[in-house]
Amino acid sequence: MISKINNKENKIAEEIRAIFQVSYTVEAEMLKAVDFPPLQKTVSQFLKSDSEFYAYYLIENIAGVIEIENNEDLTHIQSLVVYPKYFRNGIGRKLVQFILDTYKSKIFTIETGIDNHPAIKLYKSFGFQEQKQWDTNHGVRKVRFGKRI
């Protein structure tokens, strides 16, 4: 089940941070990143964020979270995280599909590290196309994908 979650509640912000920590630790290792910004986000930053967050629940436990920034024309998937024990169970796919079905933007975008092959494969399976690549100041080559509806 996918539900919108209120990141302005301390307990929810702590849960979001917890899943970010374990999921992005795996990604940081995959990307060989030493100083990885998603791992530096604090509970306070989640509490103050204007992003929208949705959680994929297994029974009563959060198994995945998707963070989006949305306006009338563009929906940007800011983050997509899944607890590692649930990798390869279709949770990320269900969260992306939910966003594509829920938001009526003309353009959807998402970014990841160029060496995050599972994420890239997922995004391409939805018809996202590469738009650009660049090097970050923290040593990770990133790629942006877009999809026009």
Query: Cα 67 vs. chain centroid, distance in angstroms?
Result: 6
Residues 90, 51, 19, 55: what is their CA dihedral angle, to the nearest 10 degrees? -40
Which amino acid is located at 86 in the chain?
Answer: Y
Domain assignment of residue 52, given as a range: 2-148
Residue of 5 and 60 predicted with greater confidence: 5
Lowest mean pLDDT among 30-34, 44-48, 101-105: 30-34
Q: What is the mean pLDDT of the chain?
A: 95
User: CB-based contacts of 122: which residues, under 8 Å, 6+ apart?
Assistant: 92, 93, 96
The answer, yes or no, to whether residue 72 has pLDDT greater than 90, is no
Q: What is the pLDDT of residue 92?
A: 97
Report how many domains make up the chain: 1
Interval 73-107: pLDDT, tens: 999 999 999 999 999 999 999 999 999 999 999 99
Residue 90's CATH number: 3.40.630.30
Q: Report the C-alpha gap between 75 and 105 in whole angstroms.
A: 6
* Token pair belonging to 104: 């009526």
Enter the pTM of the model.
0.95
- Confidence band, pLDDT 50/70/90 cuts, at residue 139: confident
